[in-house]
A = this chain, B = another copy of it.
Amino acid sequence: MTIEASGAARGRKIRLGMVGGGEGAFIGAVHRIAARIDDEYELVAGALSSTAEKAKASGLALGLDPARTYADFATMAKAESQREDGIEAVAIVTPNHVHAAAAEAFLKAGIHVICDKPMTTTLADAKRLKRLVESSGLVFGLTHNYTGYPMVRHARELIRRGQLGEIRVVQVQYAQDWLTESIETSGQKQAEWRVDPKRSGAGGCIGDVGTHAYNLAEFITGLEVESLLADLTAFGPGRTLDDNTQILLRYKNGARGMLWASQVAPGNENNLSIRVYGSKGGIEWHQEEPNHLRYTPFGQPTQIIGRGTGAALPSAARVSRVPSGHPEGYLEGFATIYTEIARAIRTHRSDSAKASKGKGKGKAGKLDPAVTFPTVEDGVKGVAFIEAAVKSSDKGGRWIKL
């Protein structure tokens, strides 16, 4: 319960704004709950919809000051940066095609950014954003929220400690079924933009969920992909973007991987799962039952390691809130990302304070090395992955270097 205890105690909450996430959206509400759980943020401003009227209504519904409910992100970035009590960070939770421009606007206004994934719709945008983040010295967090689960942290630490030996095989999947039928043609808003290349980018399923799987595999194993070969398919009648993604991966260390992402697999709710095998052992983790990790030291019985138990490694214990057997879930994992970003922002705050007291711009503060959240670098990698996979598939399924 390390995380909660340190919440409000750290001083003034971080003033947060939000772009997107108005009525009818799903992920905006998730970000808001995630921001509240550890009491690190207070939501004070928003440009919650691309429709001015909806933006207003949504702000009202959330109890925002009408003066800080904006019709568009550009106005918001400008206005907030000029207020004494302006937002310190913004959460960007729009469809993909808006991410890059919005992030740029806030970064240029000196505001930290928390951005949903995939980071941008083109690799060029992603790289530009990366340069901007670096030159600004601001905090940029990408909500690959699945990296926030305690047992994902445990898996990562197990591998870093060498307990699996040399990694040989990575099997990762992210399967859903909600696009089995073509609901985008009957007004389902979540589906509409996800199957639309203008708003999603060149990847459909691969961008929406495949990129989470890819990121999770890298996060846990610490390995980097050298090349991939993808077979993307659009099964839903009339679709142009993939709704099923099958990829072979070759890692730089010689390990081999398979990544399957699908949104047309009936019986799968949100089945993100990963298995990693090395010369000394193997692990298996399922997002839908996130509180336990299966770990098999080769030649010994499989162990069921529980979040919150004495067997949980320090990196897992750090991000756990309640005792073992009291299941933590999706929102808590998401909250961990928010909270770790908050720590970086506070470090930045105290640096700035020191800097303003002293002479000139402060150096990057010393962030607790245990703090871990996906950054703009992960964002670039994710977009590069999507582009490579689309290219591989477009060429009929050929190996592409990353």
A interface list, Cβ under 8 A from B: 1, 4-5, 7-9, 11, 26, 29-30, 32-33, 36-39, 60-63, 168-169, 171, 173, 176-177, 180-181, 229, 231, 233, 235, 244, 246, 248, 250, 254, 256-258, 260, 262, 264-271, 275, 277-284, 287-291, 294-306, 308-311, 321-332, 396-397, 399
Contact B262 A260 (CB under 8 A): no
Is the pair A311, B305 in contact by a Cβ cutoff of 8 Å?
no
Q: Let me know if A264 and B169 touch, CB within 8 A.
A: yes
Interface centre among A26, A229, A302, A328 (most CB of B within 10 A): A302
For the complex, what is the distance from the CA of A301 to the CA of B283, rounded to whole Å?
Answer: 14
Give the distance in Å from the alpha carbon of A256 to the alpha carbon of B235 in the complex.
Answer: 10
Q: Assess the B61–A9 pair: CB atoms within 8 A.
A: yes
Of chain B, the residue at the smallest CB distance from A307 is B269
Partner of A322, one of B11, B323, B331: B331
On chain B, the residues within 8 Å of A275 by CB distance are 265
Bound together, the chains give a CA A244 to CA B302 distance in angstroms of 21
Residues from chain B with a CB closer than 8 A to the CB of A304 are: 301-304
**In the docked arrangement, what's the CA distance between A282 and B170, Å?**
24
B325 touches A328 (CB 8 A): no
A231 to B302, CA, bound (A): 28
Q: Apart from A9-B61, A267-B302, A269-B323, what 14 extra A-B contacts exist at CB < 8 Å?
A: A26-B322, A37-B37, A37-B331, A229-B229, A229-B248, A265-B277, A269-B306, A270-B324, A290-B327, A301-B303, A303-B303, A304-B304, A321-B331, A327-B329
> What's the minimum C-beta distance from A397 to chain B, rounded to whole angstroms?
6
List, sorted by A's number, 6 A–B pairs whose CB atoms are closer than 8 Å.
A4-B33, A36-B36, A168-B233, A270-B326, A300-B303, A322-B331
Knowing A169-B265, A275-B265, A323-B26 touch, does A298 contact B177 (C-beta < 8 A)? Answer: yes
Given contacts A277-B262, A282-B177, A298-B266, contact A169 B327 (CB under 8 A): no
